[in-house]
Amino acid sequence: MPSPDLELSRRGVLAGGAASAALGGVPLAGAAAQGAPQPAPVTMAIALDINGTRRDVTVDTRTTLLDVLRETLKLTGTKKGCDHGQCGACTVIVDGKRINSCLTLAVMHQGDKVTTIEGLGTPDRLHPMQAAFVRHDGYQCGYCTPGQICSAVSVLEEIRAGIPSHATTDLTARPRATPEEMRERMSGNICRCGAYSNIVDAMTDVAGARA
């Protein structure tokens, strides 16, 4: 039998919890209450290959790749949408693979090759995917378009490399750039305006030109 001193009643537990909650609102005494200075952020010098150009930056180790691209390097083509990896607006291509730049720290990409929408093409010399988006009206407000295009370019490369998706019916055969395959692979890129069918048309156009 437990000692009477150690026995806790339901009422005692509730009373103790209420007391703890009440104390949670009481300011702490000492240095913390007097606004003591916080430790300086840890910074690190890194080198990134951005669109074919080496960029040396010193960043707070907590800074995302997205914020370095937009705030430090002023490459604002890459958009900040949800900032939680759910919308795909921040998609860039790193070492040939698409990633959500809001979910990765810049310091994790020392020496990596990063391609943003600015590195795919220019107004005078559009990337084939950019030109196809224009031809097929693959956008409306345009906010998600940079991420959509970077993702679309990578999707066709994934299919060409034979990487299956959840929509691939025969895992022993090479996947093809069908609407079902492309829709499944692009499902992480959200278009609030609903230009999905035109995006698939643009991708189909580019895939056909490569065949």
What is the longest distance spanned by two Cα atoms in the chain? 85
Q: At what angle do helices 128-135 and 196-210 cross, to 10 degrees?
A: 130
**Fold match between 42-119 and 121-211?**
no
CB 43 within 8 A of CB 60: yes
The pLDDT assigned to 36 comes to 80
- Identity of the amino acid at 121: G
Q: Does domain 121-211 have CATH number 1.10.150.120?
A: yes
CB 172 within 8 A of CB 117: no
Q: Which residues of 109-120 are buried (b: 16+ CB within 10 A; e: fewer)?
A: beebebbbbbbb
The domain spans of the chain are 42-119, 121-211
Q: Closest Cα partner for 106 from 66, 70, 143?
A: 66
The pLDDT assigned to 6 comes to 47
The pLDDT assigned to 209 comes to 74
Task: Return the structure tokens found at 149.
Answer: 């295009």
Quote the pTM value. 0.80
Full pLDDT tens readout for the chain, 211 residues: 555 554 555 555 555 555 555 555 555 555 555 678 888 889 999 999 999 999 999 999 999 999 999 999 999 999 999 999 999 999 999 999 999 999 999 999 999 999 999 999 999 999 999 999 999 999 999 999 999 999 999 999 999 999 999 999 999 899 999 999 999 999 999 999 999 999 999 999 999 976 5
CATH number for the region 42-119 comes to 3.10.20.30
Distance, in Å, from the CA atom of 121 to the CA atom of 129, rounded to the nearest integer, reads 9
